[in-house]
Amino acid sequence: MADQRKSIIKTISVTLQDLAKMIDVSLLHPTMTDEAILEGLHQARKYGMATACVKPYSIPVAVRELEGTTVLVCPVIGFPHGNSTTKVKVFEAIEAVDAGGREIDMVINVGKALGGDWDYVEDEIRQINEAVTKRDAILKVIFENDYLSDKHIIKLCEICSRIKPAFIKTSTGYGFVKQADGSYNYTGATMAQLQLMREHVDPAVQIKAAGGIRSLDDLLRVRAIGVTRVGATAGPTMILGAIQRGIGETPKEVQVEITGKLGGGY
């Protein structure tokens, strides 16, 4: 879906910690070795990010490496395609929390959403949210917008407004769509879809953008429209960019051009 909204300039006030605590460092690529995951955890710790987003088997090492910091452990479940049964997703969520996960990112059943089986979709989100929140953790619900139209996104926002998970999230970063030439690609978060989600979900539900947030400018753009968390592999690059622009411990006003296109990629 192409972004059609007019670009505007907005002034926002930020600190370095504000920006760091927007970032879930993504350590999810299937080719990541234990060594690479460990390096990512050290980066999350060094820069004081919000969370390290990890595959479930990495929870114990993440808990160990982040102990004594404010960086939380964020496992994914039903990831990346959301095709497990509800029972399996609930079990996986409980196991992840019991192992030390404080924030859980789950993927909806996209096929059920596209097929209009909204009762199934809503019941699944509700069951997982209840399982997670009963254990003092929070849930982020991944829509996987690359597969959805605006009407699907709006319906999911309405469902999540009733259930009130902590966050709704645009993408996994792995929602590849087959192109006309036979290749696969994805868009990830777009400004238009983020604004659509903010407009249609209850204000109590926060928004996480993933896929396409590659630079400090991207981070500032989404913050300016009300996004409070991003998932990205480029977190350290964003923080170093902020330092270079003089963003530090005291609030600094920055002008943000809200454009229709984000950087692309995860």
Q: What is the mean pLDDT of residues 82-102?
A: 98
Residue 264: the pLDDT is: 52
Residue 199 has pLDDT above 80, yes or no: yes
Find the catalytic residue in 140, 146, 169, 218: 169
Q: Quick check: is 208 catalytic?
A: yes
| Both tokens assigned to 50 | 């919000």
Find the catalytic residue in 24, 105, 146, 218: 105
Residue 260 has pLDDT above 70, yes or no: no
| Both tokens assigned to 188 | 């990830």
Residue 155: the pLDDT is: 98
Q: What is the mean pLDDT of residues 155-178?
A: 93
Task: Write out 1-56 in H/E/C secondary structure.
Answer: CCCCCCCEEEEEEECHHHHHCCEEEEECCCCCCHHHHHHHHHHHHHHCCCEEEECH
- Please report, rounded to a whole number, the percentage of residues in the chain having pLDDT higher than 90: 85
Q: How would you classify the pairing of strands 72-77 and 103-107? A: parallel
Report which secondary-structure segment, H or E, holds 98. Answer: helix 86-98
Q: What is the mean pLDDT of residues 184-210?
A: 93
pLDDT tens-digit readout, 27-57 = 999 999 999 999 999 999 999 999 999 999 9
Q: Quick check: is 21 catalytic?
A: no
Q: Is the backbone of residue 185 left (phi > 0), alpha (psi -120 to 50) or beta? A: beta
Spatial contact of 189 and 210, defined as CB atoms under 8 Å apart? yes
Residue 6: the pLDDT is: 61
Residue 182: the pLDDT is: 84
Residue 266: the pLDDT is: 45
Q: What is the mean pLDDT of residues 52-64?
A: 98
| Peptide linkage before 80 cis (omega within 30 of 0) | yes
Residue 172 CA to residue 188 CA, distance in Å, equals 8
Residue 210 CA to residue 193 CA, distance in Å, equals 12
Judge residue 100's burial from the number of C-beta atoms within 10 Å of its C-beta, 0-12 exposed, 13-18 middle, 19 or more buried. middle
Residue 123: the pLDDT is: 98
Residue 1: the pLDDT is: 45
Residue 236: the pLDDT is: 94
More confident residue, 186 or 250: 250
pLDDT tens-digit readout, 211-225 = 889 999 999 999 999
Q: Quick check: is 169 catalytic?
A: yes
Could you list the beta-strand ranges (E) of 182-228: 184-185, 206-210
Residue 264 CA to residue 266 CA, distance in Å, equals 7
Residue 42: the pLDDT is: 98
Report which secondary-structure segment, H or E, holds 152. Answer: helix 150-163
State whether residue 180 is helix, strand or coil: coil
More confident residue, 214 or 85: 85
| Both tokens assigned to 68 | 């004594």
Mean of per-residue pLDDT scores for the chain: 93
